Amino acid sequence: MGTTRLALIFLATLGGGCRRLAMRSAPQSTALTESYSSKTGLITVHYPALFAARTVGPQSNVLLARSFDDGSDEAIVFVAIENPVSDELGEFARVSELKNGAHYNKYQQLSSARVTFGGVPAVLTRGSWETDKRHQSYLRSSYVLLRDGKGYIFSSVYPQARAAEEGPLLDKIVQATHFDK
């Protein structure tokens, strides 16, 4: 869970730091034309060219990020855990949410539901939080699942003011994740 914590702390503290990764200045295609594989070989992420990808953390998590002209930003972190803390989905999701939610300023869980992701049971949690510096409201969406003995957490964060446009796009990116092993 240390890698999960590191990746989500990174996400929670971006506060405009995505600007160095990718800038969005004009309308661009949302076609998933790019691919980025985790260094562990567990997943391949497919995403639009308007995002930048990089590896973060000691277990090679994948971070996609971009910034907007108004200084806000959005990101998705894809965490693949070789040996999850629990082999029971409910417990793995509970512990993950407890640790991850603690790293967001004024975080409030809005919903949690059992869903199917990539053909396996998953837990989808949605929440909201506020940035420390600019006091902007952000939304968080997180899928937690177990597959072939490995744990996966795919979390996206985006400005609440852009929820109608960005929420569906980020979910499309997450849903396109390919499991390589």
Position 19 confidence tier, pLDDT thresholds 50, 70, 90: very low
pTM: 0.83
**pLDDT tens digits for 78-124?**
999 999 999 999 999 999 988 777 777 788 999 999 999 999 999 99
Looking at the 3D structure of the chain, how many domains does it have?
1
**In this structure, what CATH number is given to the domain that contains residue 113?**
3.40.1000.10
d(CA 75, CA 31) in angstroms, rounded, equals 17
Q: How far is CA 140 from the centre of its chain?
A: 8
Q: What domain range includes position 153?
A: 2-179
